[in-house]
Structure 1
Amino acid sequence: MTDAPILIDEKQAADRLGLSADYLYRLRTNGPRRRSSKDTPLPPGPAFLRIGRRVVYRPADLEKWLDDMAAASGFARVSCRRGRPTKAEQAARLRAAA
């Protein structure tokens, strides 16, 4: 049986998630910066505990946050293309209007 840590510090949590410790700090203080759709808003950063001055995370909370992010990121696949529509997009729009 492997002994999984009950609590991990901010640096270990960042390494586990593949993020920087600075990004976890920004999530904790400001919340997600990326725009989200109204249907599926982005979840705030992972749940954390403050013990004295230390900030620690539970591994289960990190996993839950990743699952929530995966569920909320469906909007990112929608193209938010800027600029002039292509000929195919113009033709599709005309067909839909008719």
Structure 2
Amino acid sequence: MSALITPLVLTERQAAHRLGLSTDYLYRLRTDGPRRRSSTERPLPPGPTVLRIGRRIFYRPADLDAWLAALADGSVYARQARGRGRPRKIAA
């Protein structure tokens, strides 16, 4: 029986794999911040907190979880569900 060991830090590749994102997207979040096509839309939160040790970048699993929670909960960063298609006329 082997116990699962939670690592203290994850490399950028491991963090991207855990989040289901590309390493390029994590890099852009870290360097430029999230981008939107329209400036009128609400901004996305900044990327997860990183640890820099020398030239290497690491992510703590707890920071990744907190970043996901900020995206998913009722914060200002949560996306509102929109109906698809043309809006219907409401009968008065």
TM-score strictly above 0.5:
yes
Partner of 1:6: 8
Q: Identity percentage over the alignment?
A: 51
Instruction: Give the match for residue 50 of structure 1.
Output: 52
Q: 2:28 — aligned with what? A: 26
Q: TM-score, normalised by structure 2?
A: 0.75
Q: Is the partner of 1:49 in helix, strand or coil?
A: strand
Structure 1 ranges of 4+ moved more than 4 A: none
Could you state the TM-score of these two structures normalised by the residue count of structure 1?
Answer: 0.71
Is the alpha carbon distance of 1:79 and 1:27 closer, same or farther for their aligned partners in structure 2, counting shifts above 3 Å? farther
* Cα displacement string for residues 35-73 of structure 1 (whole angstroms, at most 9, x for unaligned residues): 643xxx421000001100000000000000000011222
Bigger radius of gyration among the two: 1
Alignment correspondent of 1:78 = 82
Cα displacement (A) at 1:74: 2.9
Q: Deviations over 1:9-42 (max 9, x none)?
A: 00000000000000000000111113643xxx42
Cα distance change of structure 1 residues 80 and 49 upon mapping to structure 2, 3 Å threshold? farther
Greater share of residues in helix? 1
